[in-house]
Amino acid sequence: MSTNKRDASELSNKLLASFRSIVSSKKQENAPVVCEKQSVTAVFEERIEPHPYLKAVKGGQSFQLKTDHGSVVAEIAMLEGLCENLKKAPGDAIAFHMSGRNDFAAWIKDAVGDWWLGSKVEKVQLKTPEETRAELVRVMEERIYRLRKQ
């Protein structure tokens, strides 16, 4: 073997040995440290807060579901409660709140604060009470589903 090749081979072996020693020292530096104390594992319960639009409205802002100006069917403090009560509300109550105005949309915008849903509910037209109920519930359930996922 020529001198140049031998020198290159020796240099290559030295570099390889140096690299191996650096790698092994890094492995030791990153090795886990064993403590004599017993380790404690903390378990944190993840709490997911409901979206603000799904919380109860502030006092005095509940929705009174009525069949006429005097007959209150239900007092509702949450968007989900409105949706559930609409499913079983008498047709007279739906007609009362939709005739000439849309009390549902106004309450959703003003008390709940959800202008997006309020504008969607505002576009629902009074047809028969059953058709109107179905459309209101559909729009609200879609929104509630999306808000739960946020």
Lowest pLDDT segment from 22-31, 46-55, 67-76: 22-31
> Quick check: is 64 in a domain?
yes
* Residue at 90: amino acid letter: P
Give the rounded percent of residues in the chain with a pLDDT score beyond 90.
65
Q: Is residue 127 part of a domain?
A: yes
Model-wide pTM > 0.85:
no
- Per the domain annotation, does 36 fall within a domain? no
In a domain, 28, yes or no: no
Domain count, the chain: 1
40 lies in a domain? no
Q: Which pLDDT belongs to residue 99? A: 92
Give the domain extent around 61: 52-149
| Backbone dihedral region for residue 68 (phi beyond 0: left; psi -120 to 50: alpha; all else: beta) | beta
What single DSSP character describes residue 60? T
